[in-house]
Amino acid sequence: MSAFPEISKIKFEGRESKNNLAFRYYDENEMVEGKPMRDHFRFSCAFWHTMRASGSDPFGAGTMYRPWEDGTDSIANAQNRVRVFFEICEKLNLKYFSFHDRDIAPEGLTLAESNNNLDEVVKVFKEESDRTGIKLLWGTSNLFGNPRYMHGAATSCNADSFAYAAAQVKKMLEVTKELDGLGYTFWGGREGYQCIWNTDMKREADHLAQFMHMAIDYAKEIGFTGQFYFEPKPKEPTKHQYDYDCAACINFLRTYDLQDYVKMNIETNHATLAGHSVEHEMDYAGSQGFLGSVDANSGDMLLGWDTDQFPTDVYMTTKMMLILLKYGGFKTGGLNFDAKVRRESFEPIDLFYAHIGGMDAFALGLKIAAAMRASGEIAEMVKDRYSSWDSGIGAEIEAGKHNFKSLSEYMLQKGEISPCSSGHQELFENIVNRYMF
């Protein structure tokens, strides 16, 4: 039975369309830089936000109207929810999805019961995924919601919390493999600390690394070949999260010899909480060979927390697509809408408006980015800015032909540096606007 009989599959109608249930820019078959749009984005729908966000906040109860819910925590209700989820993904033309273990099935009284509940719901995921071809982009485990994780999971002071979390991830790796999932994400829900007085930071970091190695070992053991991701977030729920930003995460991965197995899953709103921008994080990860996947959303600069809003800012999507194209696009990852409708947007149809807006914002961003790349105008200006490195002393330094002694001799002889030209930031910004509008 359809939950949205009045909504048919969302189609591309072009930029002149006034139909609010149509794409104006996202034409999945349109070729951009030799690849259909759909393959540039690999759009994914987050089960936790789309199906489980209630609209509650610290000041009030949930607001969402979800007529397909029967109000119980039964397996039958959970299974039905999965069918509704796939109807949404199909109608929106979202080819991938993501979920946490506890989003999809109720937690039981024991670990064994929880595992069984998961199996019952995974059966429906498998059926629906086989029926539609919509695939699991990555799976993950909720290692933060239950009170047993109040001190963290892999970084808890309680060894039993670590062990329980290991059991959960073991099961989720099996589930992810069962669903032919393309990846597994570690997001350190409470892997951080609130108070340095009671915290042994070194021991916690060592444990987190040990935990990741165990996950990788188990993946090898069961033949799960998907990509592991590490998702940075600087704070919330803990004050100091160990996975602060890409730089901190990559340092952690290299320190603990995890760099060959784990790439970054970069989220916009997490980047801004860290005092960065998503394009900064993507460029940094890409330049270090760690660009894996993206949790697409946006924050609100006037609010200091993770608002997980749908992205509509075309400047931002243009920058993101420019960087993605620069590093050759997604291999295993995709654009996962880790985003939820506002508490006030409680009608089911808002889920459609939200995703359509996000997909169109990225489609437009891709087209603008591709136009910038095709003309080569901006790239040429950037290249020119660094031209002192293309010949003479610059080229010699890059080729490793110099040391401090030889450079000192060079400068003693030359006396002063050759002047370079202006940074022309305002000109760059004006040129960008020419492509934007």
**Site residues, ligand XUL (CB under 6 A):** 100, 140, 185, 187, 231, 233, 267, 295, 306, 338
From the list ligand XUL, Co ion, none, partner contacted by residue 306 (C-beta under 5 to 8 A by kind): ligand XUL
Query: How many angstroms separate the CA atoms of 148 and 150, rounded?
Result: 6
Of 217-225, 295-303, 314-322, 409-417, the segment contacting Co ion by CB under 5 A is 295-303
Residue 233 binds what, of Co ion, ligand XUL, none (CB under 5 to 8 Å, by partner type)? ligand XUL
Contact 72, 88 (CB under 8 A): no
Q: Which does 114 bind (CB under 5 to 8 A by kind): Co ion, ligand XUL, none?
A: none
Beta pairing class for 96-100 and 183-187: unpaired
Rank residues 87 and 295 by Cβ distance to Co ion and give the closer one: 295
Tell me which residue has tokens 């270090």. Answer: 288
Query: Cβ of residue 244: shortest distance to ligand XUL, in angstroms?
Result: 13
**Residue 306 near Co ion by CB under 5 A:** no
In sign, the C-alpha dihedral spanning 276, 279, 280, 282 is positive
Q: Which CB, 245 or 267, lies closer to Co ion? A: 267
> Which token pair is 131?
């029926």
Contact between 295 and Co ion by CB under 5 A: the answer reads yes
Q: Which is nearer to ligand XUL, 174 or 295 (CB)?
A: 295
Closest CB to ligand XUL belongs to which residue? 187
Task: Look up residue 287 and give its two tokens.
Answer: 């330049």
HSE-CB for 128 with a 13 A CA cutoff: 21
Candidate list 267, 283, 306, 360; residue touching Co ion; CB under 5 A: 267
Catalytic residue among 27, 101, 103, 283: 103
In the complex with Co ion, the residue whose CB is nearer, 185 or 317, is 185
By a kind-dependent CB cut-off of 5 to 8 A, residue 318 interacts, out of ligand XUL, Co ion, none, with: none
CA distance 272 to 301: 8
Q: Pseudo-torsion of CA 353, 355, 361, 364, nearest 10°?
A: -100
Closest CB to ligand XUL among residues 128, 306: 306
Respond yes or no: is residue 240 known to be catalytic.
Answer: no
Task: Give the separation between CA 139 and CA 217, rounded to whole angstroms.
Answer: 17
254 and 221 Cβ atoms separated by less than 8 Å: no
Q: Pick one of Co ion, ligand XUL, none as the site partner of residue 185 (Cβ within 5 to 8 A by kind).
A: ligand XUL
100 is catalytic: yes
Kindly give, in sequence order, each residue whose CB lies less than 8 Å from that of residue 87, ignoring residues fewer than 6 positions away.
Answer: 2, 3, 4
Minimum separation from the CB atom of position 71 to ligand XUL (A)? 25
Residue 339: burial class (beta carbons within 10 Å; 0-12, 13-18, 19+): buried
Name which of Co ion, ligand XUL, none residue 28 binds, using a CB cut-off of 5 to 8 Å depending on partner kind. none
Which one of 40, 100, 207, 280 is the catalytic residue?
100
CB of 271 to ligand XUL, least distance (A): 11
User: Least distance (Å) from ligand XUL to the CB of residue 350?
Assistant: 20
Considering only residues 319 through 348, tell me which ones interact with Co ion, judged by CB under 5 A.
338
b vs e for 217-238, b when ≥16 Cβ sit within 10 Å of the residue's Cβ?
Answer: eebeeeebebbbbbbbbbbeeb
CB of 281 to ligand XUL, least distance (A): 13
Q: In terms of C-beta density within 10 A (0-12 exposed, 13-18 middle, 19 or more buried), how is residue 65 classed?
A: exposed
Rounded (5°) CA angle 227-201-142: 40
Q: Which positions are annotated as active-site residues?
A: 100, 103
Binding-site ranges for Co ion (CB under 5 A): 267, 295, 338
